[in-house]
């Protein structure tokens, strides 16, 4: 099965409300410095693979951070609002992966000053989601 971030990226890029704001600008890990804004960036904060005494339990609860990045605070806030509406409490599937629930655990501003010496600051808001999803399990070998 693919990485949960790839499945989440497919869901977000295909969501009509979000794509109206960011198009297909949904990145995993990082966006290029000169990427057009607004955009979303996904980060795995922790893996959260669950276990029992026999090995893998068949589900995971990773923490995934999604950064809403725009040119100004109002635009970042608008993108953040739409993201929350489409993600918080989500139950269903992302790109075929069964999602038990996506829970918004934290939301914070990310102050950002240009690192390249330009006058083009970014406004960003980070969402942290706990994402319960099924995963395949292989039996451990002795």
Question: What pLDDT, on the 0 to 100 scale, is given for residue 55?
Answer: 55
139 found inside a domain: no
Which range marks the domain in which residue 13 is found?
4-134
Question: What pLDDT, on the 0 to 100 scale, is given for residue 43?
Answer: 95
140 found inside a domain: no
Q: Which residues of the chain have pLDDT under 50?
A: 1
CATH of the domain at 128: 3.30.2000.10
73-78 long-range Cβ contacts below 8 angstroms, 24+ apart: 73/123, 75/37, 75/38, 75/123, 76/38, 76/123, 76/124, 76/125, 77/125, 78/21
117 found inside a domain: yes
125 found inside a domain: yes
Question: What pLDDT, on the 0 to 100 scale, is given for residue 133?
Answer: 78
Question: What pLDDT, on the 0 to 100 scale, is given for residue 33?
Answer: 80
Question: What pLDDT, on the 0 to 100 scale, is given for residue 121?
Answer: 73
Question: What pLDDT, on the 0 to 100 scale, is given for residue 1?
Answer: 46
22 found inside a domain: yes
State the Cα angle at 79 between 126 and 85, rounded to 5°: 90
Q: Structural domain tally of the chain?
A: 1
Question: What pLDDT, on the 0 to 100 scale, is given for residue 58?
Answer: 63
142 found inside a domain: no
């Amino acid at each position: 099965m693919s990485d949960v971030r790839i499945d989440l990226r497919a869901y977000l890029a295909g969501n009509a409300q979000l794509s109206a704001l960011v198009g297909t600008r949904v990145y995993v890990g990082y966006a290029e410095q000169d990427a057009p804004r607004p955009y979303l960036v996904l980060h795995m904060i922790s893996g959260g693979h669950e276990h029992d005494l026999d090995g893998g339990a068949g589900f995971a609860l990773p923490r995934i951070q999604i950064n809403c990045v725009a040119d100004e605070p109002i635009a970042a806030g608008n993108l953040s609002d739409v993201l929350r509406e489409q993600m918080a409490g989500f139950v269903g599937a992302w790109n075929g992966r069964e999602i038990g629930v996506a829970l918004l655990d934290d939301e914070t501003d990310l102050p950002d000053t240009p690192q390249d010496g330009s006058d083009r600051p970014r406004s960003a808001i980070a969402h942290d989601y706990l994402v319960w999803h099924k995963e395949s399990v292989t039996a451990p070998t002795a």
